[in-house]
Each structure stands twice: as C-alpha cells, then as structure tokens.
Amino acid sequence: MLSDTTDTDGTVHKWHGHPVEMEDSRMLFRADDIEWDESTGDLHATGHVYFRNFDRNEQIWADRLEYNTQEETGKFYDVRGETHRASSRVPARSPPPVRSTLRASGPSVSAKVHSLQRMGH
C-alpha cells in the first residue's frame, strides 16, 4: 500500500495520496482516495481511479468506483476501459486480438469486469 496518509478504524482503512495504490497478486487499484473494509471486501475509490486485473489483462479508468474485492464485482462511474488477450502467443490463423472499450454517457456502469464483450476489431 502506497499513500500519503492512513486512517484505520477497526477493519476499515482510509488512505489518501497522490496517488494511493492498493495491489495484490490479482489486481491493482490506484486513486486519490481509497477506503477499504477488509472484513467485507468493500472498496470505494475516488479521484483519478485506475483499476487493473492482472489475470484477465483488463484496465479501467473512472472518476470513482465501488468494488468488492472478495466477489470481484463493482460499479464504475464515468468509465473508459479495455481488455486484451492474456497470452501474447497467438496462433497464425486466430482472429484479431480482443480489445474492448467501455464508454458510458450515463452516470455509471455496473459490471462483472470479466464479462466485457468484444466491440469491433
């Protein structure tokens, strides 16, 4: 965990920084502010939010997010994101690599991150 300031109340941790980073072997969260309840897995991030899932090679940028680290589901607000094939070894006759982009004109997008659909080539 990288942050400028830390506040802990029981199992709830609040971090502020430029940026704050919370990372494990599966994913990375980066934002101006992160609040995480380690007992429930609920995470709230605001300000220049960046999410990365290493296993699924996904990246999402948002203004803020609400995410559960145990269920790996969340709600991303004002988002842009992409996913690529995890393997760089692609057989010669395979289709073009998957690259999906999320764009939201409304206030939010809710999704299981690993359910992104291909949108064009």
Q: Which residues contact 94 (CB under 8 A, 6 or more apart)?
A: none
Q: pLDDT tens across 39-66, in order? A: 999 999 999 999 999 998 889 999 999 9
Separation between Cα atoms, residue 117 and residue 103, nearest integer Å: 12
What is the fold of 5-115? lipopolysaccharide transport protein A fold (2.60.450)
Q: Which residues contact 66 (CB under 8 A, 6 or more apart)?
A: 42, 43, 44, 74, 75
Q: pLDDT tens across 80-90, in order? A: 877 666 554 44
pTM surpassing 0.75?
no
